[in-house]
Amino acid sequence: MPTDAPLQPADQATKVPVTVLTGFLGSGKTTLLNRILTEEHGKRIAVIENEFGEIGIDDALVVDTEEEIFEMNNGCICCTVRGDLIRVLGTLMRRRDRFDHILIETTGLADPAPVAQTFFVDDEIAGQLRLDAILTLVDARHLGRHLDDAKPEGVENEAVEQIAFADRIVLNKTDLVDEAELDEVIGRIRAINRVAEILPAQYAKIDLGKVLDVGAFDLERALDVDPSFLTDGEHQHDLTVSSVGIELTGDLSIPKLNDWLGELLSTKGADIFRSKGVLAVAGQQNRYVFQGVHMLFEGIDGQPWGNTARVSRLVFIGRNLDRAALETGLRRCLASAR
C-alpha cells in the first residue's frame, strides 16, 4: 500500500472551473448550451464538444474532438482517461486569457468516468483546472425508456451511468409529462442517485447559478447533501445502480480506515462510481474530507469540528452496493471497535 500523503488541492481559486455536460441526444443539451453561451452571466465560456450534428455557436470558443479512450494501465478502469480531452485542454490552456470557464459536452453515449478521471490523473491538468461539476440532462418523457433499455451482459447502460455520476440533473421537458409521470421519473432518478440536485426545466430554462461554478468536487463541500438521505430507511435492494449513505457517531481509527477503504476501493472500486465522505478521525481536530471516482481517491483535512458533533458521513453511488456490508465495514473502523 502506498504511504505517500493524499493529493493536496492547489489554490482552487486560481484554477479554471470545468463543467462536464452529459445527456442523451434529444435531452436538450444544445438548448442548454445555447442558453449558457448567450445569457448574461458575466463568464466567458470555452466549449469542447464531440457530438456530431450539433449546431455551431457564434462568438464562442468551440473545439471539436473525437472520443479517444486511453487506458494507461492494462485496462484498469481507474487508469482510463480521455486522451483527446487532455490534448484539447492543453491547447485551450495556451489561450487561457480568453475564457473563465470550460464546458465539456460529451456525446450521449460517453462514459463519464474517463472524463472525470482525466482531472485527477494528469498532474498538469490538475494543476490548472478543477472539475466543477458533472451536469446531466435528461428528458422527462423518454428517460424511463433509456433506463429500461436492455443491454448485453457486460455493456453499461449509459443513461444509468450518466445519472449515477451526476452532481446536478436537469430534468428537462417536464411540459411533456403529467404530474404522476413526473413523480415517477423523479423517483427513478432518486433510486440511482440520491445526492444530485434535480432541477426540473422546460426548454432547459434553469438558473445557471445552480449549474455553473457550484464546486461539486470541492473537498470542502464534499458532503453538502440532504441529511435525510443518510438516515432514510427505504432502500431499494433490487436496483443494480444505487446510492448508499451512511452516518456514524464516534471517532474512527486511521489504520482501520486505511485497511477498510484500501480493500474496498481495490476490490470494489470498479463498481463504485462516486464516493464522498466527511470523517471524524481519532485524535484529529479537523474533519477529514475525501472523494473518489472509482478507485481514484483524494482527501484533505477540512474545517475543525469545533463544537459540532463528530459524526462521520459517507456516500457511495455505484453498482451492486451492499449497504449492510458497507455499514458494518465502517463501524469496524471505529477506534473503540475490537
Per CB under 8 A, 333 contacts other proteins: no
Phi-psi region of 176 (alpha: psi -120 to 50; beta: other; left: phi over 0): alpha
List CB contacts of 229: < 8 A, sequence separation 6 or more. Answer: 194, 195, 243, 245, 315
Q: Using the rule CB under 8 A, which residue among 264, 278, 314, 334 binds other proteins?
A: 264
Compose the 220-259 pattern: x for residues touching other proteins by CB under 8 A, - for all others. ----------------------------------x--xx-
Q: Is 59 exposed, middle or buried (0-12, 13-18, 19+ CB in 10 A)?
A: exposed
Give 23 or 292: the residue with its C-beta nearer to other proteins: 292
210 phi/psi in degrees, rounded to 5:
-90, -5
Q: Using the rule CB under 8 A, which residue among 102, 265, 315, 334 binds other proteins?
A: 265
Q: Which stretch binds other proteins (CB under 8 A): 172-180, 190-198, 228-236, 281-289?
A: 281-289
Alpha-carbon 33 to chain mean position: 19
Report the largest interatomic distance among the alpha carbons of the chain, rounded to a whole angstrom: 64
Give 86 or 204: the residue with its C-beta nearer to other proteins: 86
Beta bridge partners of 45: 101
Question: Interaction with other proteins in 90-119: which residues (CB under 8 A)?
Answer: 90-91
d(C-alpha 148, C-alpha 134), whole Å:
22
Sheet holding 286-293, edge to edge: 241-249, 311-319, 272-279, 286-293, 296-304
Of residues 148, 90, 110, 118, the one with CA closest to residue 29: 110
Give 2 or 42: the residue with its C-beta nearer to other proteins: 2
Number of residues in contact with other proteins, rule: CB under 8 A? Answer: 53
Give 61 or 282: the residue with its C-beta nearer to other proteins: 282
Q: Using the rule CB under 8 A, which residue among 201, 288, 313, 334 binds other proteins?
A: 288
Q: Which stretch binds other proteins (CB under 8 A): 190-198, 220-228, 265-273, 309-317?
A: 265-273
Q: Using the rule CB under 8 A, which residue among 26, 108, 144, 262 binds other proteins?
A: 262
Per CB under 8 A, 281 contacts other proteins: yes
Give 138 or 296: the residue with its C-beta nearer to other proteins: 296
Q: Which stretch binds other proteins (CB under 8 A): 44-52, 104-112, 171-179, 264-272?
A: 264-272
* Grid cell for residue 320: 451492486
Give 106 or 117: the residue with its C-beta nearer to other proteins: 117
Give 40 or 66: the residue with its C-beta nearer to other proteins: 66
Which alpha helices (H) appear in the chain, and where do they start and end? 29-38, 83-93, 112-121, 123-128, 143-148, 158-165, 179-192, 227-231, 254-268, 323-331
Contact residues for other proteins, defined by CB under 8 A:
1-8, 66, 68, 70, 72-74, 76, 78-79, 83, 86-87, 90-91, 120-124, 126-127, 254, 257-258, 261-266, 269, 279, 281, 283-284, 286, 288, 290, 292, 295-299, 301
